[in-house]
Each structure stands twice: as C-alpha cells, then as structure tokens.
Amino acid sequence: MSLQSITQELYGTFEQEDYEKCQQLLVPLKIELIKHNLLVPITTDSTTKDQINDFKISQKILEIGALSSLLLNKTQVFENYYSHLKPFYSNSKIHLKKEHNTTSTKIISLYLLLLLSQGLVSKFHIEVEHLTFFQQYDLDSDKYLQFPINLEKHLMEGNYIKIWNLLNDENNLPCKEYIMFVDTLVNALRYEIAKSLEKTYATIPISNCKNLLYFPQEESDMIFEESLKEDLGMNWTFKNGYVFFNSSTDDNDEFKHDKSNKIITNVLNYAEQIESII
Amino acid sequence: MSDTKDIEMKAPEANDIEDLVTDIQSSFSLLQKVATTFDNRYITKLFRGLGSLSRKLKQDETSLSTVLTNVYGSIESKSYIFEYIDASTIPESESKKSEVLPEIDLYLHLLVQLYLLDSDQIDKLSSFNRHVVSLMKVYNRRSLDFIYAKIWFYISRATELANDLYWIRPELLYAFRTATLRHDTETVASIVTILLRNYLLTKDIDQALNLIEKSEFPENANTSLGARYYYYVARIHAIQLNYSLANECCITAIRKAPQTKFSVGFIQSATKLSIIIELLMGDIPELKVFKTNEFEPYFMVTRAVKVGDLKLFDQVLKKYKADFVKDDNYTLISRLHQNVIKTGIRIISLSYSKISLKDICIKLHLDSEESTEYIVAKAIRDGVIEATINNEKGFMQSKELLDIYSTKLPQDEFDQRIKFCLSLHNDSVKSMRYPSENLKDDTKNSETFEDEFELLKAIEEGDLDDFMD
C-alpha cells in the first residue's frame, strides 16, 4: 500500500472514531514515513513549499496517533507520539502563523495535563517555559493552553473548589479528550485535600469531611473509610461520627536520638577543621 | 556603556597606524613566550589589553590588514582571511615565512573576530567563524587553552547576534568533549557556560538540565565564568521550582561577579533573579537591594507581595509585563500569585489569634468562604503558618509561638555559618600562589623577575573584559 492510500484510510477511520483500527494503521504508516524521511523534520529539508506541506501531513498523522492513543487510555503511547511531534511544533517553518485553538495547542495542553495528573510539576514548568519561546503560541488567550495553566495555578494556591468546578462540569472542558483525565485529576485533587486536612484539623465530623473531599453525602461511612484507605492511602480513625487524624508522635524518640547524633558529628567536624588551621 | 565607549574612543585617534601595528606585533613576543614556557598567565596579561585594542582596531582598519599580510604574507592556505577584512590596501610584502606559530595564528583570528564584531559585520563574522571552528580542531597545545576559550566566546556571541543558534551546538559539544579529555579547564568552563546560555535562549530547559547534571564545572576556572555559570544554573533550578538551590547559586553568582563597570549589567540581572527567587521562597528582600531605578518593577512586585494585596499584584503584573518579559522573568513572576495570598494569610495569622474564615475571605479578596478554607488549609500544610481550623464553627486559630531556642533551628543556623567561614578559609588557602622551585634560582635574572612582577600585578587588578556584552 502506498503512503497516500493509508493516510486516506487513517483519516477515514479517525472520523469514524474507530481508534483501535487507527492504531493498527499507524504502524505501517510510520515505517512509510521513515522511508520517505518525513518522520523527523530537519531544518535543511524544509525549504520548499512541497516539503513543508509533506511535513504538515506527517504532523497530522502523528497528531491522529496521539489523540487516538489517548482516547484508548494508552498514556505511554501518547507520550511517545508527543515526543515525535515536538520537533514539528518547534519548527518555525511549519508553524508560521499564530496557533490559536488548533489541534497543536490541544495536544500540547493535553500533554501538560498528563504531566499534572502524574504530579510532575517541575516538568510541567519546563514545558511551559519552552512554549514561551515560540511566538506562535499565545499562552494567555488560547482556550486549550489556558486550561492546564489555570489548573496548576489553582492547585498551587490551594483553591480546590475552583478545580472541582472546572472538572465537574463537562461544559467547562474545551474538548472531549479532557474527560480522560478527569478521573485521575479528581483523585489527585482528593489526595491533595486529604493531605491538607490531616495537617489542619485535629478532628472533623465525618459528614463535613465527605463534603470537603467531594464524596457524595449518601455514601455510607464504611464505604467512605474503605475508599479513603484504598485510593488515597490515608490512615484515619473513625469514632462517634468524627474523623481523627493520627498525628505522628511515636517517632519522637528516634528523632531526638538523630538530633544529638548530628550535633556530635558537627562538633567533631569543627574540631578537625580548626586543628588543621592551627 | 556606549557613552563611556565614545569618550574612550576619541583618545586613540591621534595614534598612528604604525603604533597599532607595533602594538600588535609586540604582543607576539608575549605569545612566543607562552609557546616556550607554557605559562598561561602571560595570556591573561595579554587579554587585559584586548578591550582597548579592539576599540583601536575599529578606528583604523588598515593596520590589521598590514599585520595580517606581514604574518601570513603569501601563505596560500590562509588567503581566506583577507576576504573578511578590507583588503584593498594590502601592501605587497616580500617576506616569506613558511610557518606561523599556532598561538599567533589563533590570536590573529581572534583579532579579526573582534574587528568584525565591533564593526557590526555579523554576516561576515558568521562565515568567518566556520573557518575558525575548523582551524581550532587542527591544533592541540596546552598554551592555546585561554585563546580557545576566548574565541569560543566570540563565536557564540556572533551566533546570538545573527540569531542562528542551532548550527553551533554540535560544534560546541564536540569541542567540549575534546577539551574535557585534554583537561583544558579554561575552555571547558567557557564552553559549558556558552552552551547553557545557548539552551536558555531557546528555552530548551530540559537539555540545559541534562548538561548540568552530566557535566562538572571545573572548580579552578576563571571566576567571571563561574559567576555566569552559577547564574544560569540558578535560572534552571528556579524554573524547576527548586528555589532554595536556585537561591544559593544566585548568591554565589553575584558574589563571584567582578566589581567593574563592565559587569554592571550582569549583576543587575542576577540581582533581579535573586529578588524573584527570594520572593518565591516566601522571603522579602531587603530594601537596600532596590537602590537604583532599574529595579522599579521588581520593587513594585515586592511591595505587592509584602502587603499581600492580590489586586495590587495583578495591576503591577499588567503594568510592567513588557519589562518582565524582556528580562525573561515573566513566568517566574506570575508564579508569585500564590505567594501573595500566603503572605496575606501570614500577616492575618500574626495579628489575630482567632479569626473567622469569612473575615479572611473579605480581607484577601478571595472568591468564597469555601475556597478560603482550602487555601488556608494548604497554607498550614505548606508550613506558612502554624494554626488549626475549627471546621464546625468556621474559624482559624493560630497556635502559640514556640520557643525557638528549644528547637534545633538556631543550631542549624550556626552550623551553616561556621561551615561557610571554614570553607572560605580553606578556599583562600588553596588559592594562594607560591613561586615554583626553579624560579627561585632565576630571581637573579632581573628580567624574569620583572616579568613575574608585572604578571602578578595584572592578575591582581584582575578584571577581564568578559562582561562587555
């Protein structure tokens, strides 16, 4: 099969939302792309109009690959596609015009979201910083790019209610691919909240706790306790309708031992140094 | 900068071409000395005059071509060099030299670079640099280390001006490898900083990060290079949210920077970065940092963070956005948003021992009481304040202040200071120079002694014109 025919078929299957088939088609297609030297955009190659158009097509193919793998919940594959796409996005000849609410910004923002849901905040910031270099991406007004950036901002502030509202109303999501992340993000959100609760309160009524963690009120306490332990790994005790947070006091002894050890090593070190000076 | 240059430029106008020619040619004797003694301090001395020399070169172009013809004459392989300078006035020289000393060869290339850079012929310089790069691969002599480092600096400067940052990377990495294998610390240090700058200019943070993780900056390299290196490292760490490390590096950078008029720009941008990092760590920089007008936007930001006023902060951010973008600090500063809220909460918790969440919400201009509860909880978790929230009655209660001397904080603080003093002492002992054994016998020879004395004086005065850009 030639490159063109598979590409046409891929477009068709993607339209029909048959993502499994897309994945199958992509394997021979990528090999074809390599044969035509189109998988990696090399700056010296992208001079004529035809070449740039070819690269645009291969970018589109890879974008379909990224989206379809994401919709099948294969995040690892999505990441691979993203690293393939990265040189395309940073090639200023392929992306001459301003990118505003396009597939490219959508995929970038999905990748950012993936990093956030995995808790890789520093990588997230590296990516954002990288984007500021390119004129064609407008971080402040692009609806796709705005989403993860706002999310991170609220997360750092602790403004969890805003995130909850963002995630819970599907109308707020710029496109359907984001739904894939909602579950993981909600879980990450609950974990963050639980961590804060632990430090902030000595004790709290169970119903309030459910409220704060956005668990449905009707859920029985047993299930609530279960899911706390299962999903979040929190070890809290329930008593008389209150939640008690176990403050860590038992390792105090060890801590003190550690402290005196440290002082001894420090002082010995000073003595050694001073002796060498004299 | 440009003003001072103008004034200085008027002075050498009276000089003859002859003077400049002899000037350059006299520096050859120094280079010959380097070639025979392998004492790189002579080069340090030579480079001290480079700044004024380059200004003179710009004044009259003919002298450079005269020198070049004198040296290269009719050597076929070097003919390309004449394409880059105004060669109309080449006097036919009869002298035929079969070989040029590599030190002199490269030094002349450096001068051509300087001349092209100063006279804004960036296109020519870029193509000339490709010749230089291939030339540098030919030689392998320890006496060339310093010249290499310098030449790389100007090559990278040219690529920046020409906005063609990518072609040089493989060359730099290649040179980096050879320099490391030859234990050529000067070039290694120079190339690492150049590479970092190159990566940061295109915002390839992850590559820069890989570089600093996998390479080691030579400890005994030039301090001004060290200053630059630490500044870039600080920036990378700051982007990665690793603020305490970034702060350390930033302070080292400012300390290491030479205190001359050429480094004012560097110190300024390093100070700007350090202000932001301090703010991000939740500290407020001291007032004396902001003594010049240059820092006005940063001063306003600091003020907004200090009073914890979100509205003011947003206004400042909008007003000075262009300044921050120019300094490459905008993304870092927009992260401060959360710090503004946190300082607000901290101020409240210091003034009230008990306050309802609703009041906090109103005071800090937050959206709702519920979000206030989350934000305060997060602040407590991050250790910004010591407090608890009473969920049922909806208030925040500050914990009583602990006796700080019963904790190990003072101990840690002392430990830090003692370690700093000790390492300062050790470093100063290490950097002392003693005359070597065989030199002692030579002291009778007054010429060598004088030489040595001059060298030491040059090093003591110590500024390098590295910070001219």
Q: What ipTM was assigned to the predicted interfaces of this complex? A: 0.72
* Whether B373 and B311 share a structural domain: no
Residue B6 has pLDDT above 60, yes or no: no
Most A-contacting residue of B378, B393, B428 (CB-CB within 10 A), to test interface? B378
pLDDT band at B448 (very low <50, low <70, confident <90, very high): low
Inter-chain contact A157–B209, Cβ cutoff 8 Å?
no
Considering only alpha carbons, which residue of chain B is nearest residue A128?
B331
Residue A276 has pLDDT above 70, yes or no: yes
* Whether B250 and B299 share a structural domain: yes
Is B444 domain-assigned?
no
Residue A149 has pLDDT above 70, yes or no: yes
Residue identified by tokens 């009120």 is A217
Distance, CA of B436 to CA of B440 (rounded, Å): 7
Considering only alpha carbons, which residue of chain B is nearest residue A199?
B381
The residue range of the domain holding B287 is 222-335
Q: What percent of chain A has pLDDT over 90?
A: 0
* Whether B273 and B327 share a structural domain: yes
Count up the domains in chain B and report the number: 2
pLDDT in tens, B188-207: 888 888 888 888 887 778 88
Most A-contacting residue of B391, B424, B432 (CB-CB within 10 A), to test interface? B391
pLDDT, residue B93, reads 46
pLDDT, residue B449, reads 62
pLDDT, residue A255, reads 67
Give the end of a domain, one of B335, B363, B379.
Answer: B335
Distance, CA of A79 to CA of A66 (rounded, Å): 8
CATH code of the domain containing B392: 1.10.10.10
CA distance to partner chain B, nearest, from residue A25 (Å)? 32
Cβ under 8 Å to B: A residues 100-139: 121-123, 125-126, 128-133
Considering only alpha carbons, which residue of chain A is nearest residue B372?
A159
Is B18 domain-assigned?
no
User: Which comes out higher in pLDDT, residue A149 or B13?
Assistant: A149
Considering only alpha carbons, which residue of chain B is nearest residue A90?
B202
A139 burial level (CB within 10 Å; 0-12, 13-18, 19+) = middle
* Whether B261 and B309 share a structural domain: yes
pLDDT in tens, A233-247: 666 777 777 777 765
A248 close to B (CB below 8 A): no
Backbone angle region of A17, left / alpha / beta, with phi > 0 → left and psi within -120 to 50 → alpha: left
Mean of per-residue pLDDT scores for chain B: 74
Q: Apex CA A71: angle with CA A68 and CA A75, to 5°?
A: 90
pLDDT, residue B438, reads 57
* Whether B231 and B321 share a structural domain: yes
CA distance to partner chain A, nearest, from residue B9 (Å)? 37
pLDDT in tens, B302-347: 888 888 777 888 888 888 888 888 888 888 888 888 888 888 888 8
Instruction: Name the residue type at position B243.
Output: Y
Most A-contacting residue of B199, B202, B203 (CB-CB within 10 A), to test interface? B203
Q: What is the mean pLDDT of residues B96-109?
A: 67
* Whether B330 and B345 share a structural domain: no
Which of B17-21, B99-103, B235-239, B459-463 shows the lowest mean pLDDT across its residues? B459-463
CA distance to partner chain A, nearest, from residue B354 (Å)? 14
Is B238 domain-assigned?
yes
CA distance to partner chain B, nearest, from residue A143 (Å)? 18
pLDDT, residue A92, reads 64
pLDDT, residue A70, reads 77
Is B259 domain-assigned?
yes
DSSP state for residue A177 in the 8-state scheme: G
Inter-chain contact B240–A122, Cβ cutoff 8 Å?
yes
B242 close to A (CB below 8 A): yes
Which of A79-83, A158-162, B17-21, B137-141 shows the lowest mean pLDDT across its residues? B17-21
Inter-chain contact B391–A159, Cβ cutoff 8 Å?
no
Q: Where are the domains of chain A?
A: 250-278
CA distance to partner chain A, nearest, from residue B168 (Å)? 14
* Whether B229 and B278 share a structural domain: yes
Which of A12-16, B72-76, B140-144, B180-184 shows the lowest mean pLDDT across its residues? B72-76
Is B198 domain-assigned?
no
Which of A66-75, A167-176, B5-14, B274-283 shows the lowest mean pLDDT across its residues? B5-14
pLDDT, residue A90, reads 72
Residues of A in contact with B424 (CB under 8 A): none
User: Which comes out higher in pLDDT, residue B298 or A169?
Assistant: B298
Is B95 domain-assigned?
no
Which of A66-70, A95-99, A208-212, B418-422 shows the lowest mean pLDDT across its residues? A95-99
pLDDT, residue B18, reads 61
Is B321 domain-assigned?
yes
* Whether B297 and B318 share a structural domain: yes
